[in-house]
Amino acid sequence: MNNLKLRNIRLLVVAAGIAAIGAVYGSSVFASHSFELGVAGSNIPQNTHVRLDGLTLPPGGVLPLYDASPNFVAGHFLMRAPCDENHVPTITVIAGHIDEHMHRTFVDKVPLYYIDHASTAGSCVWHAHTPDPLNGGAPRVTDIDLINLSGSDVTFNPGDAVDINIQRALGSMQSSPYEEMQLPGELTHGNTVYDLNDDNPDNDGFGFIEEGGEE
């Protein structure tokens, strides 16, 4: 098969994936993992694994993890990293779009779900949805990064890592650019952390008020 035919097949696969997710998102079916569509047809997921053990980020330091520009994508994020007593990572996870033009850049902190039964001393484990339409964060994600906004060095423990699984390309920033700007340096330390297994039912990260409930 020549390169031109292979390229055309790849373009058709991407177009089919965008059409499929557009149909499902249009139905407004959002509940926990339900908006993580998984793999369908000939769509092939892309996995990125980054070992963090032995790395130290100084205050203001940034560690790029993933870049799909100009495509904004949907998938799953998993991280093991140092945390405080409230299970907030000492490093901040951000996502969105980082552009060559400052005014076209928008990033926000990623809402995280704490997984106690997978965490060990010194490090916590979290997962996140990319993007998370229920709980905020950047709605169109091309870039995922770690940034040290704590004011002190952050040193990762043995076994710390990030794993990113991309399941869909949702569209292109060229046709859907951000109309507002938010830069990494404008954010503050700390991600919002949800826990499905604690005693606080208001901290489950569903992003909506159940029927009959109160805010």
Task: Render the burial of 50-78: b for 16+ CB within 10 Å, e for the rest.
Answer: bebeeeebeeeebbebbebeebbbbbbbb
CATH class of 45-202: mainly beta
pTM, two decimal places: 0.76
Q: Which two three-digit tokens encode residue 157? A: 């423990």
By three-state DSSP, how is residue 108 classified? Answer: strand
Q: Residue 16 in contact with residue 43, Cβ under 8 Å?
A: yes
pLDDT in tens, 42-94: 455 688 999 999 999 999 999 999 999 999 999 999 999 999 999 999 999 99
pLDDT tens-digit series, residues 127-171: 999 999 889 999 999 999 999 999 999 999 999 999 999 988 888
- Which among 69, 75, 94 is positioned nearest to 145, based on CA atoms? 94
Residue with tokens 């007593």: 85
- Alpha carbons within 13 A on the beta-carbon side of 9: 8
Q: What is the DSSP letter of 186?
A: G
For the beta sheet containing 92-97, the strands, ordered from the edge strand earlier in sequence to the opposite edge, are 62-67, 143-147, 92-97, 106-109
C-alpha to C-alpha distance for 28 and 39, rounded to whole angstroms: 19
Q: What residue ranges do the domains of the chain occupy?
A: 45-202
